[in-house]
Amino acid sequence: MTSVVEKVIGKKFTFFSGKGGVGKSTCAAATALFISENDRKTLLVSTDPAHSLSDVFNKKIGRSIFSITEHLDALEIDPSFEAKKYVRRVKSDISGIISPVLISEIKKQIEIAYLTPGAEEAAIFDKFIEITQNKKLNYDNIVFDTAPTGHTLRLLSLPKILGVWIDSLIEKRRKIVQLKKSVDRIYGRKGKNNEDPLLSLLLKRRSRFELARKILLDKNRTCFIFVVTPEKLSIAETKMSVELLKKYKIEITGLIINRITPEVKNGSPFLEKRRKIELQNIEHLNALLKVNILAKIPLLDMDIQGIEQLRKLREYI
């Protein structure tokens, strides 16, 4: 077993992150494939709205689980589909709760939900929680291929941001319920003693956010791999991300350096120069970040598509 696979195979959840185009999808797919070849049922999930797993495997993977090999399945989260499903659920719940007159009023509000700036990321986040909680999906490993850095950092910070928001909603609602009870008591009304439905809904939501937070912070179950190319910008962005994630108490498990210019016999001076710069950058990276380098992958002489070509990465990953 090689370094990356060895490191992540014991963790239920593995995230691949990094700057755009550095090879996240390729590395995530290869890692998932190699894990699954160790007789572990593995699910590869893309949280990137601009999916590329279909390209990596040259197969039409979609929003439902697609079987790649006997032990490897894949899935591309479709945010607009998930958002529509959510809206549909709320719409059907509504009819049991409010009068038909108000329903037409509320329809307007519901359509707005599609358009709110955070709808896409919230939809992805919800689906992510569902995948981690769904008992019917019994995978040994789940590997997440994420969108370029900024997007992913947002996603990883959501449990905290949403947690703060929902905590204050819960606090306000509790206060309201309590005050309403006091008013009832003054008038000697026998207030409804059952749980406030709005409050229980909020509590349910909060516990989902809490589950996501627990998973992200649980070093025994979860690891984060950053893919980086030996270029200044990619390294700088990785440093920034590592520091930002530290703020959210998320620790990076290790790095994969991808697309390193290979040593070629009688190579051109151009390539030699390029190689030298890259080696300097890697040294700089070592000094800059105290993070394990788990793998170094050379730039191959072709694009990597399909299982056969992914296997070429086995010796590195």
Partner 1 sequence: MSENKMKKTILKIKENLSDFAEGFFKEQAAGILEKEIEDFNDMFMILCFGDLLGIPTPASYYTLELLPYFIGEIDRWESRINRRSKVFSERCARYDFCC
Ligand X SMILES: Nc1ncnc2c1ncn2[C@@H]1O[C@H](COP(=O)(O)OP(=O)(O)OP(=O)(O)O)[C@@H](O)[C@H]1O
State the residues that interact with ligand X by CB under 6 A: 18, 20-26, 48, 52, 148, 258-259, 297, 299-300, 303-304
d(CA 131, CA 73): 13
Partner in contact with 87, chosen from Mg ion, partner 1, ligand X, none, beta carbon below 5 to 8 Å by kind: partner 1
Q: Which residues contact 259 (CB under 8 A, 6 or more apart)?
A: 22, 23, 229, 230, 297, 298, 299
> What is the pattern of x (binds Mg ion, CB under 5 A) and - over residues 12-51?
------------xx--------------------------
133 binds partner 1 (CB under 8 A): no
- 97 makes contact with partner 1 (CB under 8 A): yes
Please report whether residue 104 would count as binding partner 1 according to CB under 8 A. no
**Which residues in the 277-296 window bind partner 1 by CB under 8 A?**
none
Asked if residue 88 binds partner 1 (CB under 8 A), the reply is no
Question: What is the distance of C-alpha 249 from the center of its chain?
Answer: 16
Q: What CA–CA distances, in Å, run from 262 to 23, 227, 268?
A: 16, 18, 12
- Residue 263 backbone dihedrals phi, psi, to 5 degrees: -80, 125
| Closer by beta carbon to ligand X, 110 or else 299 | 299
Residues 142-161 that bind partner 1 (CB under 8 A): 158, 161
Under a CB-based contact definition with an 8 Å cutoff, are residues 287 and 10 in contact?
A: no
Cα angle, residue 134 at apex, residues 133 and 138 outer, rounded to 5°: 110
**Residue 176 binds: one of partner 1, ligand X, Mg ion, none (C-beta under 5 to 8 A by kind):** partner 1
Considering the complex, what minimum distance in angstroms separates the CB of residue 18 from Mg ion? Answer: 9
Nearer to ligand X (CB atom), residue 202 or residue 304: 304
Backbone φ and ψ of 107, nearest 5°: -55, -40
Backbone angles phi, psi at 71, to 5 degrees: -105, 0
In this complex, which beta carbon is closest to partner 1, that of residue 118 or of residue 262?
A: 118
Helix, strand or coil, per DSSP, at residue 60: coil
Question: Of 22, 32, 24, which is closest to residue 260 (Cα–Cα)?
Answer: 22
> Is residue 52 at the binding interface for Mg ion, with CB under 5 A as the rule?
yes
Applying CB under 8 A, the residues found at the interface with partner 1 are: 83, 86-87, 89-90, 93-94, 97-98, 102, 105-106, 109-110, 112-113, 116-119, 121-123, 158, 161-162, 165-166, 168-169, 172-173, 175-176, 179-180, 182-183, 186-187, 197-198, 201-202, 205
